Every structure is written in structure tokens, then in C-alpha cells.
């Protein structure tokens, strides 16, 4: 990649987070090509100068760097390995998958990319819609050092904490660590605030005390505040969290690890999906502890 010229970036997946991330790239002066299954979600970006493509393959052929932020491992597999799609059409491009996906799939994509003269990195993120809007995402990267160095300026337009964790798949494994901890923390926040409500306490006053003590965390201060307000709008969809927890459980089972807290979180979130909360935010777990 020519260090003296800004590369053209293709961005696939313009959802809650992807749209903000692509917007930061445009604001930083990059030429951005976009594709999304729902074309209407790209309208604001196109208005700002992004170029719409009708197919993943055409976008890949016209981009030096391709960033993907889609829903599920099956989506990742399709857009990278499908006939006529990214790996069939990209030319010596840098491929950055920022979806939370399977570590084994990340390794497979990296191997295929190398065969075809491309450079693949798995780079899932943490920080939700707030981190995406503020360009403060934590980005966990797996791949080669030289490839990481080449795309670091691009990653810096979207995140503030960017760490190369190891070879292909290491970024996804690190994201699994993140999601396991987040799952347990949201359970604790939900139960603690439900306890406060049941005890007749003023939840905002409780937050004044515990928000600055040993219980303080991003989840308490952000998701907890939303729980108190009854705001279950998505910053990160329940259905996507269920997907992440399933990947983490599958990976843990390969190592014969017993993960009781993770297993409980997966069951509770599966129950939320069954009750119709799939498109709500992860803080909707609180509804399991309060009377409807």
C-alpha cells in the first residue's frame, strides 16, 4: 500500500456501528465505497461523498482496503469466500473483518487471502454505538505485524485502543474474552439494580454511591443508567450478543472448559429472544428481574 497516498476503502455493513465508522473515514479524507444489504441505510454516507456499489464483488475490485462489519459468521463466510465476492475480486487488498466472528473462520480467511495475494486481519471491536460514534472503539487485532502497521492509520480513525493480539484469529479470541466478561457484568448490574428497586431505594442515589466505588464499570454507568430509565433501545442488539456468547461457548468446549456464568448468560439471553427482545439492547436483560 502506497504510504504517500490515501487508499480507497470499501466498507461493507452500515448498521448501528458501521455507519458511524464509515463516517469517520470520510471525515478523515478517505475515498469510501459502500455496500449494505439495505441500500437506504447508506443514503446519508452517499450524500457526504461515499460511492454506492450494487455488489460486494464490484466494491472489492475497486478498493485497496476492504472493511466488513456484518452480523454473523455465516455472513462473513459468504462475503469473503462466496463465488464472485471479496476474495474472488480483490486485488492485493487489505481485508479487515471487524465483525465479531469465529476465530477458526478468521484463520481460514487469512489462509485463503494469502493464497490470493491479499492481506487479512480480524479486528473485532468493543464500545458499542457510543464508542463508534465517538471514534473511541477498542479494536482487537489478529494478523501479521506488517499488515497491522500498514492499516493502523485507518484503524486510528475509528478507535482509541488498538492492539495487535497475535496471529490470525487472535483478535476474535480476545473479543470472546471481552464478551464473556461483559455477559457476567451485565447480569450483575441487572440483579443489583433490580435488588435496589425491590428494596425501595432510589436507583439514581444508589448509582451515586456505587458508581464511584468498587462496583463501578462501563456497564454499570452506561447500561445501568439505561436500565433505570427504562431505555432498552439497541446500542448492541440482543440477537448479536446471543451469537457472540454461542461462539464463546463453542470455543470453550473445544478446550473442555466449564463456563457456568457464560452458560447462564446464554440461557438468559436466549429467553429474552424468545420473549421478543432480539432487536433490543443488551441492557434489556434487566426486564427479566422486574415485574412486567
> Catalytic residue numbers?
175
From 148, 5, 10, select the one nearest 70 (Cα to Cα).
Answer: 10
Q: Where are the alpha helices (DSSP H) in the chain?
A: 18-27, 43-47, 56-61, 73-81, 86-89, 103-115, 128-133, 145-156, 170-198, 203-210, 218, 225-229, 238-254, 260-274
Q: Parallel, antiparallel, or unpaired: how do β-strands 8-12 and 137-142 relate?
A: unpaired
Other C-beta atoms lying within 10 Å of the C-beta of residue 209 = 10
DSSP H or E run through 177: helix 170-198
Beta bridge partners of residue 241, listed in sequence order: none
For the chain, give the number of residues: 292
Give CA–CA dist 208/220, Å, rounded.
11
Helix (H) or strand (E) holding 253, with range, is helix 238-254
Residue 117 host element (H or E): none
What is the enclosing helix (H) or strand (E) of 107? Answer: helix 103-115
Rounded to an integer, what distance in angstroms lies between the CA atom of residue 237 and that of residue 23? 21
The set of residues, in sequence order, having a beta carbon less than 8 Å from that of 41 and lying 6+ positions away, is 14, 15, 19
Amino acid at each position: 500500500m502506497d504510504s504517500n497516498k490515501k487508499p480507497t476503502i470499501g466498507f461493507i455493513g452500515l448498521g448501528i456501528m458501521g455507519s458511524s465508522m464509515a463516517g469517520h473515514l470520510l471525515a478523515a479524507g478517505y475515498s469510501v465505497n459502500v455496500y449494505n444489504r439495505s441500500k437506504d441505510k447508506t443514503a446519508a454516507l452517499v450524500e457526504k461523498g461515499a460511492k454506492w456499489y450494487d455488489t460486494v464483488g464490484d466494491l472489492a475490485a475497486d478498493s485497496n482496503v476492504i472493511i466488513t462489519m456484518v452480523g454473523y459468521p455465516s455472513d462473513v463466510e459468504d462475503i469473503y469466500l462466496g463465488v464472485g465476492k471479496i476474495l474472488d475480486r480483490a486485488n492485493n487488498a487489505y481485508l479487515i473483518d471487524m465483525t465479531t466472528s469465529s476465530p477458526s473462520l478468521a484463520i481460514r480467511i487469512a489462509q485463503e487471502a494469502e493464497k490470493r495475494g491479499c492481506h487479512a486481519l480480524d479486528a473485532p471491536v468493543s464500545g458499542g454505538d457510543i464508542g463508534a460514534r465517538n471514534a473511541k472503539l477498542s479494536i482487537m487485532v489478529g494478523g501479521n505485524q506488517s499488515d497491522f502497521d500498514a492499516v493502523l492509520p485507518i484503524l486510528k480513525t475509528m478507535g482509541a485502543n488498538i492492539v495487535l493480539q497475535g496471529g490470525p484469529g487472535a483478535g476474535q479470541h480476545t473479543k470472546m474474552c471481552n464478551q464473556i466478561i461483559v455477559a457476567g457484568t451485565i447480569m450483575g448490574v441487572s440483579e443489583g439494580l433490580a435488588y435496589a428497586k425491590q428494596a425501595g431505594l432510589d436507583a439514581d442515589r444508589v448509582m451515586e454511591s456505587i458508581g464511584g466505588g468498587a462496583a463501578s464499570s462501563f456497564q454499570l454507568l452506561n447500561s445501568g443508567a439505561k436500565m433505570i430509565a427504562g431505555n432498552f433501545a439497541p446500542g448492541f442488539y440482543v440477537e448479536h450478543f446471543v451469537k457472540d456468547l454461542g461462539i464463546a461457548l463453542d470455543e470453550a468446549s473445544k478446550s473442555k472448559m466449564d463456563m457456568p456464568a457464560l452458560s447462564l448468560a446464554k440461557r438468559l439471553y436466549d429467553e429474552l429472544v424468545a420473549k421478543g427482545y432480539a432487536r433490543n439492547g443488551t441492557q434489556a436483560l434487566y426486564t427479566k428481574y422486574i415485574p412486567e
